[in-house]
Structure formats: structure tokens, C-alpha cells
Amino acid sequence: MVVTRNDDYNGAQQIGASLLQFTIKNNQRHSTAAAFLKPAMKRKNLTVRTQCQVKSILIENGRAVGVEVMVGQTGSERINCSKEVILSAGAIQSPQLLMLSGIGDPIELGKQGINIIHALPGVGKNLQDHVWTGVSVNSIIPTSNALLSPLNMGKALLQHLLFKKGPLGNSPLEANAFYSSIGEDRPDIQFHFAPIGIADDYSTDMYNLKTFPRKSGFGIMAILLHPESRGVIRLKNSNPKDAPIIDHQVLAHSKDRELLLVALKKAIAIAKTKAMSAYADGDLSLPKNYEDDQSLQVHINKSLETLYHPVGTCKMGTDQGAVVDHELKVHGIRSLRVVDASIMPTIVSGNTNAATIMIAEKAADMIQQQS
């Protein structure tokens, strides 16, 4: 199946290959804080408190009336609210905060000795994320691996600071393809193309540059866009300082393992095309054994990662597992909305940041219309 060129995968059609689109301004990734919050900081009706962790949402007579935040090691402060509490702690911590506030599955809350304010069994359930494996190839031309020497890193930093130019303004991922394994308009697989190679012994940690080899290379990530597996966020205990338990249940569903294998084989085929192999220094460095499915499954087990796109744990809907309604209001509680990636009932077919910004924009419109 051929993947054709498609310059705007955020346009009318998603399937196809192109360079990646980014939220980059002045050679620097532009966050929502910089884009939306910073310009509003002068407003008299806005107070932003940083280093301020919410312990729980205060509920009185079925209505959210404020939040309790931590002060120092043991203290706390109550912040009252006359209109609405908007919970945007992300797909891991929004369900944690709801559960700490007594909103969740009565069985889970009971285990932690938390008083049940409102039973909503879906809180923390339905966790989804994009998962991926990949291939890596040594290259005959210098790639981002060559930038990792102290001299080149120093050069890149100076270029960035002095001229707002250079490699630090790029993402480690440059190109992208959306693909349907069954020839449909909706993709089920995504490929990321990275101008950087990883170690051939699985010792590279994607978030630690020191673990990348100096030998230049490139790679293709094969990503499952719609995993069938569903994970769960649970409380470890009732202490808000403790992180919750994240149980992804990655590849628990057999269909996910089958499709990831299809995606990996396609990535290998792409890496071995004439266009790509023209830059290869030898055969694939990872996976080394790729002729049989069993070896590829071993590679999947060793290389599997999530794409850090957790969603779904306070899902929007009307069924038993739904946490918020179509206006993102928490079922059964007044004046409380959840506005973040946790409300997605199913994960979107692509990276989640832009979709989460869209959720927030839509919520802002709904909140304005109401007040």
C-alpha cells in the first residue's frame, strides 16, 4: 500500500506523508502558557499561583465551591469560588483529584477510606495512550547524533541564544506519515521519522541525550493510533502528595499486538526502500533479527514505549463510565467542569496537544456563553 504525500495532515485529509507541523515561535517551542496566559497576565481579575498544589475540590450540597491547596509541608488553604471550578490537571491527575475529593468508583474510594461524595465508577478508567516501537539504522551522513558532542552542543546553544537559529529550534522528529493498514480514510498507524539513531542494545533512554550513540543514524517510529487496550489510574493512598498508580495495560488486547507487528513490518519495509537505504550504513541496527514474527515480538517487548499522550480517564459521554457531559460538566456535581485531555472518550488519531488546546478553546466558549 502506497503512502502518498500530503502537506497538511491537519487539513481535509489526514492520510499521507509530510514534514511535521509544530507550535514553534522564534526558534522555540511555544507553550499554551506563553500563547494564552502571558498576554492576559495584566488583567485585574486574574491571579496565577505557581508552586501551588491542589489537595482536593471542595463540594458542598452537590456543588463545587472551591479548592483546598497545600501550604508548606503540612498546612492548607481554602480558595473559594462563586461560579465554577475548572479542573485541568491532565489525564493522570484530574482523576486523582476527583477521587481525593470523594468523586469516583465507590470500591476504589472505599479501599483508601475516602468518604464518597458522589459515585462515578468511570473516574480513572478508560486510560488510553499511543504506543510505539521502531527501527534504527546507522547512516553514512551526519545526523543529529553528530550534534551530541560537547563542541557541537556548545555551538548549537550559542546559535540559539545569539541568533535564534540552529538545530535547537527543531524537534528531534522531523517527518510524519499517517497510514491505514486496511486502506480506510481514518489512519490506524502513524510513523515518525527521526534524524537520530539509537543504541543497538536497547540502552537508549529517549529522554536522556547521554544514552544516544555518537555514531550517526536515523529511525522510524511505528505508532499505534487506536489501541483497544484500556488502562486505569488508581489511588495509591489518600495522600495528595503521592503520585497515583498508572496502570496502562499496554498491549493487553491481542489486536493491539497484531497491529503493532503490522506497523513495525511496514516501518522496516520503509527503512529498506531505495530512497532510505541510500543513506544507510549497513543493515538495520535495530531490530537485528527481523525475518520472523517471533523475533519481531521480542523486539516489540524490548522497545515498547508510550508516546506520552494519556487521555480518556474522565471521559465525556452519557454511558455508565462517563464522567463529564457534552459541556464538560461533571455528572451529578454542579459548578464543576473538567477541561483537559482526560475528557476524550477515545484517543485522537495523532498527537494530543493541539486536540487538547481545541478542547480548552471550546470549553472557554461554553463557559463564556453561560456567564
Ligand X SMILES: Cc1cc2nc3c(=O)[nH]c(=O)nc-3n(C[C@H](O)[C@H](O)[C@H](O)COP(=O)(O)OP(=O)(O)OC[C@H]3O[C@@H](n4cnc5c(N)ncnc54)[C@H](O)[C@@H]3O)c2cc1C
What are the phi and psi torsion angles at 322 (to 5°)? -75, 145
| Nearest-angstrom CA–CA distance, 340 and 220 | 29
Binding mask 270-309 for ligand X (x = CB under 6 A): --------------------------------------xx
| Binding of ligand X by 54 (CB under 6 A) | yes
Smallest gap, in angstroms, from Cβ of residue 2 to ligand X?
27
The answer to whether the CB of 284 falls within 8 A of the CB of 135 is yes
Strands 63-71 and 85-87: unpaired
Which of 63, 95, 102, 100 has its CA nearest to residue 81?
A: 63
Nearer to ligand X, 149 or 171 (CB): 171
Please tell me the distance from the alpha carbon of residue 340 to that of residue 321, in angstroms, as a whole number.
Answer: 17
Nearest Cα residue to 179 out of 98, 263, 99:
263
Work out which of 221, 270, 356, 363 binds ligand X, going by CB under 6 A: 356
The residue (of 190 and 285) whose beta carbon lies closer to ligand X is 190
Catalytic residues: 309
- The reply on whether position 97 binds ligand X by CB under 6 A is yes
Q: In whole angstroms, how close is the CB of 308 to ligand X at the nearest point?
A: 3
DSSP assignment of 156-214: HHHHHHHHS-SGGGS-S--EEEEE-TTS-SS-SEEEEEES----TTS---TT-GGGS-S
31 counts as binding ligand X under rule CB under 6 A: no
Residues in region 309-328 near ligand X by CB under 6 A: 309
Q: Of 341, 344, 347, 363, which lies in the binding site for ligand X, with binding defined by CB under 6 A?
A: 341
If binding means CB under 6 A, how many residues of this protein chain bind ligand X? Answer: 17
Cβ 171 to ligand X shortest distance, Å: 7
**Shortest Cβ 317–ligand X spacing (Å):** 18
Measured from the Cβ of residue 71, the count of other Cβ atoms closer than 10 Å reads 12
Q: Is 136 in the site for ligand X (CB under 6 A)?
A: no
Q: Is position 126 an interface residue for ligand X (rule: CB under 6 A)?
A: no
The verdict on 53 binding ligand X (CB under 6 A) reads yes
Helices (H), the chain: 32, 90-100, 106-111, 150-163, 254-271, 274-277, 293-303, 352-370
Sites of contact with ligand X (CB under 6 A): 53-54, 88-91, 93, 97, 308-309, 340-341, 351-354, 356
